[in-house]
């Protein structure tokens, strides 16, 4: 999206990304930057210690029942 904002040709971007068709690359043009910013804001800060996900007993029971 930043490259397109700088008027880089979509075919050039498709080649850089290894897409067979520029139609595939067009999908990325429609991503909403505001939505991406909200998702990034919800992630842990850079200094946060990574942790391991621990599912609840309810979730594990549900998965066992499948």
Ordered by start, the domain boundaries in the chain are 1-33
pTM value is 0.44
pLDDT above 90 (res 5): no
pLDDT above 80 (res 12): yes
* 47 vs 58: CA distance, rounded Å: 31
pLDDT band at 60 (very low <50, low <70, confident <90, very high): very high
3 state DSSP class of 8: coil
Cα 39–chain centre separation: 9
pLDDT band at 62 (very low <50, low <70, confident <90, very high): very high
Q: What is the largest CA-CA distance in the chain?
A: 52
pLDDT in tens, 42-51: 776 777 777 7
Region 33-60 average pLDDT: 80
């Amino acid at each position: 999206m930043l490259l397109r904002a700088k008027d880089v040709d979509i075919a050039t971007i498709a080649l850089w990304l290894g897409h067979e068709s520029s139609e595939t690359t067009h999908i990325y043009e429609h991503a909403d930057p505001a939505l991406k910013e909200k998702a990034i804001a919800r992630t842990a800060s850079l200094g946060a210690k990574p942790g391991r996900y621990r599912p609840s007993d309810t979730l594990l029971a549900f998965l066992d029942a499948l």
